[in-house]
């Protein structure tokens, strides 16, 4: 299949858009899509979205901007700007002002996790946890389509100030060499699997050839199985790519695709299943992750079915996340209480092989906080929480408690339980490099 993408400029040419969407739906795409990124492709449009039931279709919500993804005031601001015929500079200014209100840097990624060597910032890398360095290859900073919930949305709206990107594999190598605790390099984006086989090899070959004694795993964060499985099937360099995966496995480096899968529908398609088989045959692992999202996967049955299907196909369920505090968070948010309930309900209904999954987890500046559930201790109803990743490994595994708040959707909505004045890590900022 040949890849064809659509954006704000040409989405009205899609026959299904003309046949099914109302004028209000189309206006909403134009208004929201002027603020948040929008890109979709022919596979999603023709093969995954059920247009006869598109308002309830998870893939439609996952990819098409729609009413509710901006606050009412911001929606009207952009709507009015478009209606009065604002020129592109004026529209960009309205969009830029709205974006600033959408918390474009959750977890303070721009400043907190950027490695500094000899007083200089290393661009295009992040190092938050001892074992794992994130690398943002500059040629992999876009995707086959954009997810409406994406917390990396600022990277796709042309604001270079908000972009992480690096061409510097040599800097990455020296950094990993001089940090012996690092065992994993995570290629992330965007979607690094947007790159041609040749380009991906240009980044990965030097890492493999460097024979770093501390490096055990290269991870690639990707949505390609859900958005363009033909990457491993009919793209002109699909076979070359898979042969390269074979070569990596032969060098005793564990290569893992960290696959974003938000709904079982993405893996039910025969092309996705065939792509998974081809990838697994090379010895590459596939681990799966997704946030829990209103309108897309907010039910225990959906998660149970998703984990079961993943295990059946040979993938390893890895994370359920909480939708981050950025972009269209309000549209997708599920309360912490309900997220934890859904996780536990689904977890109970899968076999031990599906229970490799962790969560629901919030990625905050301190680390990853798992919402274990709601319980009662000494007469007080509380959230039981656990740090499952932390900027300081000494705190990993630590359980702590927050006052019960039925409306909480993010960590900032929580307060310490039992009359304490702060969470245990809040007076340990030096230990956390905060
Ligand atoms: S594929 Fe990943 S990086 Fe790209 S828009 Fe979706 S969540 Fe964001």
| Residue of 189, 262, 323, 363 to mutate, ligand 1, most atoms within 8 A of C-beta | 189
- Residue whose Cα lies nearest atom 6 of ligand 1: it is 147
Task: Work out how many domains the chain is built from and give that number.
Answer: 2
Domain assignment present for residue 43? The answer is yes
Q: What is the CATH number of the domain that holds 145?
A: 3.20.20.70
Domain assignment present for residue 93? The answer is yes
| Structure confidence at residue 359 (pLDDT) | 95
Q: Band the pLDDT of 167: cuts 50, 70, 90.
A: low
- The total of other beta-carbon atoms located within 10 Å of residue 349's CB is 15
Mean pLDDT of 412-423: 95
**Ligand 1 centroid distance, CA of 328 (Å):** 14
| Residue of 38, 143, 194 to mutate, ligand 1, most atoms within 8 A of C-beta | 143
Mean pLDDT of 68-86: 95
* Percent of the chain at pLDDT exceeding 90: 82
For all residues of the chain together, what is the average pLDDT?
93
**Ligand 1 centroid distance, CA of 73 (Å):** 26
204 and 145 inside one domain: yes
| Structure confidence at residue 165 (pLDDT) | 58
Mean pLDDT of 59-63: 97
Reported for 306-313, long-range contacts at CB under 8 A and 24+ positions apart, including other chains, are: 306/261, 306/263, 306/264, 306/267, 307/346, 307/350, 307/354, 307/357, 308/350, 308/354, 309/264, 309/267, 309/268, 310/261, 310/267, 310/354, 311/350, 311/351, 311/353, 311/354, 313/267, 313/273, 313/276, 313/277
- pLDDT tens digits for 377-409? 989 999 999 999 998 899 999 999 999 999 999
48 and 171 inside one domain: no
**Ligand 1 centroid distance, CA of 221 (Å):** 9
Ligand 1 site residues (CB inside 6 A) read 143, 146-147, 150, 152, 189-191, 223, 260
| Structure confidence at residue 160 (pLDDT) | 52
Q: Which helix (H) or strand (E) holds 220?
A: strand 217-222
Domain assignment present for residue 415? The answer is no
Residue 341: pLDDT above 50? yes
**Ligand 1 centroid distance, CA of 173 (Å):** 26
SS3 assignment, position 370: strand
Distance separating alpha carbons of residues 148 and 135, to the nearest angstrom: 23
- pLDDT tens digits for 184-220? 999 998 999 999 999 999 999 999 999 999 999 999 9
Residue 166: pLDDT above 90? no
| Residue of 5, 150, 194, 332 to mutate, ligand 1, most atoms within 8 A of C-beta | 150
Domain assignment present for residue 17? The answer is yes
* Strand 358-363 relative to strand 316-322, pairing: parallel
**Ligand 1 centroid distance, CA of 148 (Å):** 9
Distance separating alpha carbons of residues 433 and 5, to the nearest angstrom: 42
Q: Which of 80, 100, 120 is the last residue of a domain?
A: 100
Q: Which of 100, 125, 149 is the last residue of a domain?
A: 100
Vertex 96: Cα angle to 292 and 223 (nearest 5): 35
208 and 273 inside one domain: yes
| Residue of 61, 162, 191, 193 to mutate, ligand 1, most atoms within 8 A of C-beta | 191
146 and 237 inside one domain: yes
Looking at the CA of residue 142, tell me the nearest atom of ligand 1: 4
212 and 138 inside one domain: yes
174 and 88 inside one domain: no
257 and 119 inside one domain: yes
Q: Band the pLDDT of 112: cuts 50, 70, 90.
A: confident
Domain assignment present for residue 135? The answer is yes
**Ligand 1 centroid distance, CA of 317 (Å):** 18
Q: Is 408 left (phi over 0), alpha (psi -120 to 50) or beta?
A: beta
Show the domain range for 243.
107-290
177 and 42 inside one domain: no
Question: Which residue(s) pair with 385 in the sheet?
Answer: 371, 400
Q: Which of 100, 122, 144 is the last residue of a domain?
A: 100
Tell which residue, 68, 60, 10, 59, has the closest CA to residue 36: 68
């Amino acid at each position: 299949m040949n890849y064809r993408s659509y954006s704000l400029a040409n989405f009205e040419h899609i026959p299904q858009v003309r046949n099914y969407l109302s004028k209000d739906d189309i206006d909403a795409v134009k208004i929201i899509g002027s603020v948040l990124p929008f890109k979709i492709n022919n596979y999603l449009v023709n093969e995954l979205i059920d247009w006869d039931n598109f308002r309830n279709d998870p893939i439609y919500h996952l990819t098409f901007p729609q009413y509710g993804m901006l606050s009412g005031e911001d929606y009207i601001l952009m709507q009015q700007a478009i209606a009065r015929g604002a020129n592109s500079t004026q529209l960009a200014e309205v969009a830029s002002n709205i974006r600033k209100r959408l918390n474009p840097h959750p977890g303070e990624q721009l400043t907190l996790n950027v490695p500094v060597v000899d007083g200089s910032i290393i661009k295009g890398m992040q190092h938050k946890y001892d074992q794992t360095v994130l690398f943002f290859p500059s040629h992999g900073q876009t995707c086959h389509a954009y997810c409406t919930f994406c917390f990396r949305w600022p990277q796709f709206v042309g604001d270079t100030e908000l972009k992480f990107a690096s061409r510097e594999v040599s800097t990455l190598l020296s950094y990993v060499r001089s940090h012996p605790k690092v065992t994993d390099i995570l290629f992330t984006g965007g979607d690094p699997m947007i790159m041609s086989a040749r380009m991906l090899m240009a980044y990965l070959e030097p890492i493999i050839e460097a024979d770093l004694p501390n490096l055990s795993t290269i991870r690639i964060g990707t949505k390609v199985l859900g958005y363009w499985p033909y990457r491993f099937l009919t793209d002109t360099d699909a076979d070359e790519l898979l042969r390269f995966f074979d070569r990596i496995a032969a060098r005793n480096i564990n290569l893992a695709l960290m696959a974003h899968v938000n709904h079982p529908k993405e893996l039910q398609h025969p092309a996705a299943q065939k792509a998974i088989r081809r990838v697994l045959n090379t010895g590459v692992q596939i681990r799966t992750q997704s946030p829990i999202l209103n309108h897309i996967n907010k039910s225990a049955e959906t998660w149970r079915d998703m984990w079961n299907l993943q295990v059946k196909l040979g993938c390893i369920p890895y994370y359920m996340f909480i939708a981050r505090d950025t972009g269209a968070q309000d549209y997708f948010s599920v309360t912490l209480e309900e997220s934890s309930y859904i996780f536990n309900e689904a977890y109970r209904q899968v076999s031990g092989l599906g229970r490799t999954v962790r969560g629901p987890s919030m990625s905050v500046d301190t680390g990853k906080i798992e919402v274990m559930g709601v319980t009662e201790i000494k007469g007080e109803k509380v959230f039981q929480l656990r740090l499952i990743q932390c900027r300081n490994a000494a705190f990993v595994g630590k359980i702590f408690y927050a006052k019960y708040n039925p409306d909480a959707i993010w960590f900032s909505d929580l307060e310490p339980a039992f009359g304490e004045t702060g969470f245990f890590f809040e007076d340990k900022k030096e230990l956390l490099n905060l």
